[in-house]
Amino acid sequence: MAVQDPPTKCTDLQIADVAFDAGFHGPGLVTAVAVALAESGGVTRIVNVAGNVPHLSRDRGLWQINDYWHGEVTDALAFNPATAARAAFRISGGGASWTQWTTFTAGHHLQFVKRATMAAHVAQSTFIVYRLLKVTEPLQWGFDVAAVQHRLGIPVDGVYGHITCAAVQSFQHTKKITEDGIVGPRTSSLLGFGFGG
């Protein structure tokens, strides 16, 4: 099997997954995701030199880890989401101190907290779906929908619309169960979720 290169741009949930695997949890995980979004927009190989001290030092990767202050973090480590997350975990003292990141000290990460909260909730949950998920009017939305979308590998917006329904039907087809587009007990179980609805 071929080894896949890390993605060049990570989704919120991909960032949350690697951060969670690196050891971030709870509010620290939310902050880690929000800081990464503020620093890099999820672009894994981004480099910034503007305004750096010392001059021409480079900030690299999802968490924009500086090559002068953290020379132990090579470009290869900084550009790989999983190893960058581990470096950010160590540098931030396990998520306790984000003062080395200007997007944090300036409050720029705050605009990403809502997105980061949803991603963090999904990443760290052994998920239980507590209701039948289906297309309704108004549309259902929430963490449970985001978890299903993430598991199906479709864009995550937390809204159970027709795209999500079609993806569920396709999943049900591959599992040879009723293709009704509803996430109930059987579909939840096949997705790896509990069901308590």
What sections of 23-177 are H helices per DSSP? Answer: 26-40, 75-79, 81-91, 102-105, 113-123, 143-152, 162-174
pLDDT of 134 > 60? The answer is: yes
Question: What's the pLDDT tens digit per position in 62-77?
Answer: 999 999 999 999 999 9
Asked if residues 186 and 177 have their Cβ atoms less than 8 Å apart, the reply is yes
Instruction: Specify whether 22 is located in the same domain as 77.
Output: yes
Question: The domain spanning residue 167 has which CATH number?
Answer: 1.10.101.10
Query: What is the Cα–Cα distance from 73 to 79, expressed in whole angstroms?
Result: 10
CB atoms within 10 A of CB 174: 10
Question: What's the pLDDT tens digit per position in 103-131?
Answer: 999 999 999 999 999 888 888 776 788 89
Instruction: Specify whether 151 is located in the same domain as 98.
Output: no
Model confidence, pTM: 0.73
Whether 5 is covered by a domain: the verdict is no
CB atoms within 10 A of CB 140: 19
Across-strand partners of 195?
129
- What residues make up the domain containing 144? 125-195
Whether 38 is covered by a domain: the verdict is yes
Contacts by residues 144-148 (CB-CB < 8 Å, ≥ 24 positions apart): 146/13, 146/118, 146/119, 146/121, 146/122, 147/122, 147/193, 148/183, 148/191, 148/193
